[in-house]
Amino acid sequence: MRTGGGLSLRLDRRAVVVGLVLLALALAAGVALIGSGDYPLTPAEVIATLTGGGDAGQTFVVQDLRLPRVLVGLLVGAAFGTAGAVFQTVSRNPLGSPDVLGFAQGSSVGALVAIVYFQAGTVAVAAGAVAGGLATGLGIFLLAWQRGIHGYRFVLVGIGASAMLYAVVLYLMTKANIVEATRATTWMTGSLNGRDWDQVWPLAAVCAVCLPLVLLNGRPLRMLEMGDDAAYALGVRVDRVRVLVLLAAVVLVAAATAAAGPISFVALTAPQLARRLTRSPGPNLLPAALMGALLLVAADWASQRLFGADQLPVGVLTGVLGGGYLLWLLATERKAGRV
């Protein structure tokens, strides 16, 4: 496709179709999630209420209680999916995700410090999670930097940081009283329960800045998959692109973790599933974001349908399903001789 200004834009038809289907499914899952709960609504009633219809009770339930939860789920899923695609592309390793590399654990440490030592409220806990995630990202970058950031070194440093930070999490739990420990455990499980507009707007602002920044660097990221030398030969400023997209990905992970807790395995599975559906080379950033949004909202809907409203945090379900996927991925990579 060529625009009037002479800019060439290449679109993969299958990727476009997959993206549209994922978007439709994510929105449908969102409508189904809004209609679930102790006050059930049909999809027609949900859509009518969202478009200005519905009575006062339906408007309150949909717009004040359930819509923020769904929006947080969509944004968190998109943030994790995009960040996972970036980390896997930069490391050139399907296991390179924020869950494995320690960024989620760093956010957990920041949040636990705020809970245990400062008895902080919701806003301060979120700020602690963001600070912990950013500090972890900076530390891993500095430790992994040696005339640039290279994939295997980045993964190894991240795995080591993850183990150390998990030990810090356990130590902080031993210092907490029963009330603080219960609150910290609930937060670390990862949940969309009780989310309101106070979590939506900051996360939406971060996504509005970081997602376009990452998407605009999709072509250079695709070149990076061919190796640094090939990317240099094609005119890509490798170190600049790598640091820029990794910084944006870290901010996305920190903001998403602050909003919903360290929901596991979405960042690992969403990019891989998106790539298998599109059958397209490259990071598949937009399909990965849409897949992440679909996975998280669908998992939250499934947890409500199977176990009742607010009985099972979505992080438990994604952890179980994602753990099974991780075992399958390890077996596949081992059979292919890559691990």
Q: pLDDT digits over 100-145, tens only?
A: 788 888 888 998 898 888 877 778 888 888 888 889 888 888 887 7
Note the pLDDT of residue 1.
Answer: 47
**3-state class of 28 per DSSP?**
helix
Domain ranges of the chain: 22-335
Residue 149 bridge partners (DSSP): 145
Task: Write the pLDDT tens digit of every residue in 208-260.
Answer: 999 999 998 888 888 877 766 666 776 777 778 888 888 899 889 888 988 88
Q: How far is CA 294 from CA 112, 207, 247, 263, 306, in A?
A: 29, 16, 24, 14, 18
210: CB partners within 8 A, 6+ apart: 79, 82, 248, 249, 251, 252, 255
Cα–Cα dist 171/4, whole Å: 60
Note the pLDDT of residue 4.
Answer: 44
**3-state class of 41 per DSSP?**
coil
pLDDT for 43 beyond 60: yes
CATH architecture of 22-335: Orthogonal Bundle (1.10)
Note the pLDDT of residue 7.
Answer: 42
Nearest 10 degrees: CA dihedral of 220, 224, 230, 234?
A: 0
Q: pLDDT confidence of 2, banded at 50, 70, 90? A: very low
**pTM, 2 dp:** 0.87
